[in-house]
Amino acid sequence: MRKLIALFVALMLTSCASQKMASIYQMEGIEITKNSSDVDILNKYRTSRVITTIHSSLSLCIAQELDNTPVVLTSENHFGSHWWFSNNIPNQQAITVNSGESIKLIEGNSIVANAITDYHYYSKYFVSYTLTATRDKNNIHYLFSNIKQAQQYTGSVVNDGFESVKTLQSAHPNLVIEALNKEVDKIQACLLQ
């Protein structure tokens, strides 16, 4: 009986950990490539938004709306005493990821910026990226590259920091894309103010 239960648990963990998110392959604007371990990852994400009336400059809105402040990633327990008996587990590891200025380059109608955003899925995740925003007559084209994510708290597991976003369901690439779209929404709202 124990062997049967152990086999069932192993099969469940294996199937959950290795199942690709099929919908991410159908999303418009997503470029998928393989990492050095031959695993599919999000390489780039492109989206465009129509804009006819602009009240603020694109560079001003990117500088104002995007955040590139340092983040702290730890392997401490964050759930609280009702889940774990010991709420005061000492930090096993803490990583501070230093950032810098958001805007890296302004050339013609294009702006390149580095930033970090976040989303929540039982825990807080940070998403770092490079954005290239280009304006033409009626559109702003957004290209996200160098997309990586990191979980803020990993509990007793060592926090490996920022890593490429895998297309596995357990990596929730759909939430990463949703977080990037929210960044675009903030810039677009700023442009209309």
> Which residue type occupies 29?
G
Per-residue pLDDT of the chain (193 residues; tens, 9 = 90+): 555 454 444 445 444 456 999 999 999 999 999 999 999 999 999 999 998 877 789 999 999 999 998 888 887 654 444 444 444 455 456 777 767 788 899 998 999 999 999 999 998 999 999 999 999 988 999 999 999 999 988 877 787 889 999 999 999 999 999 999 999 999 999 998 8
CA–CA separation, 155 and 47 (whole Å)? 35
pLDDT value, residue 77: 54
CA–CA separation, 35 and 39 (whole Å)? 5
SS (HEC) of 129-162: EEEEEEECCCEEEEEEEEEEEEECECCCCCCCCC
Q: Which residues pair with 7 in a beta bridge?
A: none
pLDDT value, residue 13: 46
Show the tokens assigned to 161.
Answer: 């920091």
CA–CA separation, 191 and 65 (whole Å)? 10
